Amino acid sequence: MKNSLSFIMPAWPLITVLILVFILSSVANARVSPKLGVFQGVTSLHSENNDAVGEQYLAEGDFKAYYYKQTLDHFNYRPDSYATFKQKYMINNKYWGGKYENAPIFVYLGDEAPLGNSYRYVGFMSENAERFRALLVYIEHRYYGESIPFRSREEAFSNASTLGYFSSAQAIADYAAILIHIKKTLRARYSPVIAVGGSYGGMLASWFRLKYPHVVLGALASSAPILYFDDITPNDGYFTVATRDFQEESQSCYETIKESWDEMDRIASLPDGLSILSQTFNTCSPLSDVDQLKDRLVGIYSAAAQYSSPLVTLLCQGIDGAPQGSDILTRIHEGIVTAYQGRFTCFPVTFDGAKSETYEGWSWQTCTEMVMPIGRGNETMFFPSPFNLTEFNQQCKKSYGVEPRSHWATTYYGGRDIKLVLERFGSNIIFSNGLKDPYSSGGVLEDLSKSLVAITTEKGTHCMDILNSNPTDPKWLVKQREEEVKIIKGWLNKYYKDL
């Protein structure tokens, strides 16, 4: 069995070029699982109780970055649990109304990638800061970017003992500690906090509101598949939606893709089959086996469905527009060429993605608690590849010496009978999903209560609502963002009235 840990997740699905980067970073594995994630001014925050805070290392425009002296283990009282590491967060106070107004704090919860320039792209935060007079805070997830426990990244990722502090529960506890510290330092005790996150970060935002309601007033959870655990969502839900996206775009395109897998296997079985496939697809290096090609194509199709309806259109235009008489695989290749729009001279089928922080980090997270059983059955346009928990556990045991706790996410955060449960104690969460996003199959698509609201858009893709707005945005996207703003304004108005 090949490496099953191909849960490669975001960075920023902002423009087609970035989507293509994602496509190229998909590692060819037996289990190609779609990437998560969104795409991926205070002058001093010095505190006697946290002498690492205030060590400013970046000041770019209205954004300033700081380190927080974070506790290694929030849930254990062993002496070694009291060790600390520097956790990065950024602040923009340009529009903040200040402590005397009890002006709100908008916090972006970092996901499975370095914080990087995310503050540039989370338009929902910056574009609404002035109207709400909000302080903007961006926090990096532990074990990503510069927020690395222990003395180095190599040591932190060296074995399961040092990786054992790497979990979503620790992450949202980190967020709570930093926000409490910021509010204390700024003497902004009554400034309400609104959390924003996308994809895995959206999952964290919803869970943060449920676990820490005394810290965060409400959450916008964009494209958050919190129901893609255990058997709550059908295993092939993701690829069923991806298939529907292509079929709605073009029936002939869908049929060509569906028929192509058997044709690849047929040619690969010939004496010189791999060489023929390498030439047909103009691969940058000779194929070592047919799965290498098939898995890369699965990555391309799923990324296109998840992040960009225009890219689905381009792929199908190329497939359907191939010269008359072209065979199936030539049509597939024409689709790729059209989608790439001449950006590459050959088709890259190998990529050393295992060195990326997102791959390394998310591989560990999926081998412990974030077990999303995504597989493919016989009813999609893709070749079958059912999720096999036994094999997955074996691979994780081989890689890390630990087995996944496949039921822990639903045990710790819930998910089953979600409406029956959350309408009794949950509140103030927006679950937003674009229905063209395959991950919407694991999202909350119906209101759970008056304040646990689902906003869906038929043409939306992954995390579109929280990214920067554009003058060419369709009306439905503009309306979606306006509705989210209206809901958050209602939360704040009620809070201030109660206060």
> Is 6 annotated as catalytic?
no
Which residues partner with 109 through β-bridges?
Answer: 139
**Do the beta carbons of residue 357 and residue 113 sit within 8 Å?**
yes
Question: What is the DSSP pairing of strand 452-457 with strand 429-434?
Answer: parallel
- DSSP 8-state symbol, 440: G
**Residue 357 CB: number of other CB atoms within 10 A?**
17
Q: State the catalytic residue, choosing from 437, 440, 441, 465.
A: 437
Task: Calculate the dihedral angle through the C-alpha atoms of 260, 263, 264, 265, rounding to the nearest 10 degrees.
Answer: 130
Q: State the catalytic residue, choosing from 4, 126, 191, 199.
A: 199
Q: Decide: residue 263, CB within 10 A, 0-12 exposed, 13-18 middle, 19+ buried.
A: middle
Which residue type occupies 73?
A: D
> Is 333 annotated as catalytic?
no
- DSSP 8-state symbol, 385: B
Q: State the catalytic residue, choosing from 236, 309, 462, 465.
A: 462
The interaxial angle of helices 16-25 and 290-307, nearest 10 deg, is 150
Please work out, in degrees rounded to the nearest 5, the angle formed at the alpha carbon of residue 412 by the alpha carbons of 406 and 413.
Answer: 105
Q: Which distant-in-sequence residues (6+ apart) come within 8 Å of 401 by Cβ? A: 159, 160
How many angstroms separate the CA atoms of 159 and 149, rounded?
13
How many angstroms separate the CA atoms of 110 and 40, rounded?
10
Task: Order the strands of the 84-92 sheet from edge to edge.
Answer: 58-60, 63-71, 84-92, 135-139, 105-109, 193-198, 218-222, 429-434, 452-457
Which residue type occupies 144?
A: Y
How many angstroms separate the CA atoms of 247 and 329, rounded?
18
> Is 199 annotated as catalytic?
yes
Helix (H, G, I), strand (E, B) or coil at 117: coil
Q: Decide: residue 94, CB within 10 A, 0-12 exposed, 13-18 middle, 19+ buried.
A: middle
Residue 47's φ and ψ, nearest 5 degrees, are -140, 140
Residue 75's φ and ψ, nearest 5 degrees, are -120, 15
Please list the alpha-helical segments (H only) found in 375-471.
389-400, 408-412, 418-422
Q: Which residues are annotated as catalytic?
A: 199, 437, 462
